[in-house]
Chain A
């Protein structure tokens, strides 16, 4: 008998994550999004190197200057270089995105897993809380929380996270309910796995892809909400180079110096777009789980 050599050739073992990557990289738009995110992250890291001026450096002679070779994006009412401020603003934006997602995902995923796996009255309590959180428009609820906690970037982030966990809880619960029905969970029980272990090693890894998709959508929405709060004067406080705050100040000079608000606006838009492209690509790539 002649042994088939077909299955012997590939030595590399292919995890489902690797297959997800294979599908993801076929999506041009998603790669563009990924490029944008990488650029923004690099800008945030190397802002001191890239920025020609310190973000707080005032050139009182050059107030409200239009874009020029000296000031690429022009200057504001204190003669601060907007290009440098926009670059530094990426730090606040990413910080908001990461902190908010870290808090809301931790709370939401934990509660979602518990809710979906155990069911019963625990499930009832968690899901009714989610319903309450969801019954308010996100911005209004965040606004209310900030008003209680007091204005400031940190409080704004806490407020957004306290609103954002609900969507994680709901998605993770739904996913858990369906993964729980898979036979491998029953098989895990049949070999004597504990509930905690089943949640951590069997269910969580299989809902992780949905969580990642949610995160990539959640980061830009957190950035927008934070910018909105800053715009309303409840988030980042002057002299922070926060994009939302900058737009709020720029409003007063809209006719006099339009570039003042355009560039931070573009920065927000690009960041949001980048994450959304990646989110769409990821969403298409994680399901279905098979290639071909």
Chain B
């Protein structure tokens, strides 16, 4: 499989004003050196806690934000070399769906107008009747009906609004769709509907997804590969098969899974595995490995220098000085926790 998106040493620092005149130059290190490859046709899941930079990373990939440093390639095209006009043309090939369905749709536009804009911008359909038909087809593909055309966003439920957002993202038949926590604001039953829809659309249209979420459970269902982010860095990348076997090499990944609420009362999070402390400030990340302050395996080397993301086994990357120890010691707990994904009702 060839890659659709590739980044090299991607960084995004946001300046923070401090003091009365903002004299000290402080920066939030939102994304701090990310090398990422997303393959054509796959769903790449990106997990991490709030403030880890996962949403910023997503926006950088679409160049909705300008990176501070680094390179981004979209289907071989150097995204950062493009001027404004070229970039707007290229936007036909990318879509985005956000977390908050209500805020994602212009409250003053009808659903028809919202879906018509992408077609108009990229001059995809000339004939007005054809346009209308294409929009209705799209609505039906995402599980809505012609009746919704004249509606305003506030007249729809959260799930329906999210369907409209999805329709807007894919009506131009893009190659790549960025899904930024698309189900986090939805109820469980609606989340299930949206996940099913996304899976079906991917198969039908051959889409590539970057699925960003804080919820490991959702990611383990929908992803083919998963990347874990902590404080602006990707600390582990693995495929779903390794995950299912409990082959986790980074302690943060393991603890993220272990503190995920159990989907079954017999798999409750035991108190020993609760990760203590909170994520440090991204303005002044800790020296060495960024996780060492909360890590039970941290040694001296972890405080001194930052581990590189290296391939520990085929297609499995980790940035940790103690991958084998982590895997061996946490595997029993991890495997036990993973069982919560198995007990499905008949």
Do A and B touch (CB < 8 Å)? yes
Residues of B within 8 A of A190 (CB): 62, 64, 91, 94-96, 169
Taken residue by residue from 168 to 198, chain A's Cβ proximity to chain B (1 for < 8 Å, 0 otherwise) reads as 0000000000000011101111111110000
Given A186-B64, A187-B165, A191-B117, decide whether A13 and B154 contact each other with a Cβ distance below 8 A: no
B88 in complex: contacting residue of A16, A184, A192, A206, CB < 8 Å: A192
Q: Within 8 Å of chain B (Cβ to Cβ): is A15?
A: yes
CA distance A186 to B106 in the complex (A): 11
Check if B47 is an interface residue, CB within 8 A of chain A: no
**Taking the complex as formed, is B107 at the interface, i.e. its CB lies under 8 A from any CB of chain A?**
yes
Given contacts A191-B118, A192-B89, contact A16 B152 (CB under 8 A): yes
Decide yes or no whether A205 CB sits under 8 A from chain B: yes
Total chain B interface residues with beta-carbon distance under 8 A: 33
- Of the candidates B94, B108, B168, which one forms a contact with A206 in the assembled complex, judged by CB atoms under 8 Å apart? B108
| Contact in complex: A187, B104 (CB < 8 Å) | yes
CA A246 to CA B59, docked complex, whole Å? 63
Contact A13 B108 (CB under 8 A): no
Q: Knowing A16-B107, A183-B103, A190-B95 touch, does A289 contact B64 (C-beta < 8 A)?
A: no
Point out the residues of chain B lying under 8 angstroms from A187, CB to CB.
Answer: 96, 98, 104-105, 165, 168
Contacts A190-B91, A193-B121; is A13 near B106 (CB within 8 Å)? Answer: no
Contact A206:B107 (CB < 8 A) given known A187-B168, A190-B94: yes
Quote the shortest CB–CB distance from B163 to chain A (angstroms).
14
Of all chain B residues, the one with the shortest Cβ separation from A204 is B108
Q: Is B110 an interface residue (CB 8 A)?
A: yes
Q: CB of A128 within 8 A of chain B?
A: no
B274 within 8 A of A: no
- B121: which of A184, A192, A202, A206 is its contact (CB, 8 Å)? A192
**Chain A residues within CB distance 8 Å of chain B:** 13-16, 19, 182-184, 186-194, 201-202, 205-206, 289-290
Interface residues of B (CB under 8 A from A): 59, 62, 64, 88-89, 91-92, 94-96, 98, 100, 103-110, 117-118, 121-122, 150-152, 154-155, 165, 168-169, 172
